[in-house]
Amino acid sequence: MTDIHPAPTVKPENAFLLADGVHVIPDQGVPLVPNIGLIEGREAVLVVDCGMGPANGATVFDWAQGLARGRRILLALSHFHPEHAFGAQAFAGRAEIIVNTLQAEEAHDKAAAYLEMFKGFGPEVAAALERTVLTAPTQTYSNRLEIDLGGRVVTLQEVGPAHTRGDQIIWLENERILFAGDLAEEGMFPIFPWFPGQDTDLDGQRWQEVLTALEARGRMTLVPGHGRISDQGLLAVLAGYMQDMQGLCADPATELDIPAIERHFTGRHPDWQGKEWIGFAARHYKDVARSRP
């Protein structure tokens, strides 16, 4: 978590059409840049995540406004993490900002601390976060919310705690497209934000259950929080990783051998980035195993 990162710049010039009226700005493999979505209906457009800091937020808002051509703009945040949510100030007063209740509470509790933590990730990230104004949602819901954009219904669903306390998915039933946020990462080890003393809201067991339940929906196009567009097969692979990790860390009496666990998983997934997250995941499952009565 102390690596020095390059500038986390969202680049709408790379946006492409995933389906009719469904756009994605890909992360291009840049750390701390998320995949960003835009779903068009006749009356409104819904943006999924907004990038980190005021400049990225403004870039995404301007891109959305250009596509919206006068239609209403809505913003849904997959979860509160800075690269997904800390550009929302650009939407304030100009768009409905919609999250689930758990996420709103979680952001209220933790966003300020995450802002400080992320400023420590190097000068480029700190610069991107300058003048960030933490921005509250304008609409919250519990469990699930269907939004009719005009001829197109989008379902927001509260599925946390998993990757965070307040994860929400964005699902297009007719098109079978899932915006999963960081419940799914492609080409990298899953991000386990397990920071004892600061943040222990993640729940690996439930996360795995959520992935399995989503995979059971069958054929879909999957937009992960980070990485390339994928399908439901990725959900099964990630659930398998968690199952395997939980098994390796299940005995509360043994000490963690993180280098051995890293060797095990980098052997299985030699092409995955983000190896540092293996240790965070191992400590999570071990801490949970030890906390059981």
Instruction: Give me the residues that bind Zn ion (CB under 5 A), please.
Output: 81, 182
Q: Which of 97, 88, 103, 36 is nearest to 67 (CA)?
A: 36
Contact in structure between 232 and 214 (CB atoms under 8 Å): yes
Instruction: Decide: residue 142, CB within 10 A, 0-12 exposed, 13-18 middle, 19+ buried.
Output: exposed
Give the nearer residue to Zn ion in terms of CB position, either 72 or 283. 283
Closest separation between CB of residue 190 and Zn ion, Å? 10
Closest separation between CB of residue 193 and Zn ion, Å? 6
**String of DSSP letters for 120-173:** TS-HHHHHHHTT------SEEESSEEEEE-SS-EEEEEE--SSSSTT-EEEEET
Q: Between the CA of residue 231 and those of 183, 213, 218, 219, 259, what are the distances in Å? A: 13, 14, 9, 7, 31
Give the nearer residue to Zn ion in terms of CB position, either 19 or 115. 115
Q: Which residue(s) pair with 47 in the sheet?
A: 38, 75
Give the nearer residue to Zn ion in terms of CB position, either 81 or 286. 81
Closest separation between CB of residue 32 and Zn ion, Å? 10
Give the nearer residue to Zn ion in terms of CB position, either 88 or 149. 88
Tell me the residue nearest to Zn ion as measured from the CB: 182
Structure tokens that stand for 180 in this block: 């999963």
Rounded CA-CA distance 280/290 in Å is 15
Closest separation between CB of residue 293 and Zn ion, Å? 30
Give the nearer residue to Zn ion in terms of CB position, either 25 or 77. 77
Closest separation between CB of residue 79 and Zn ion, Å? 6
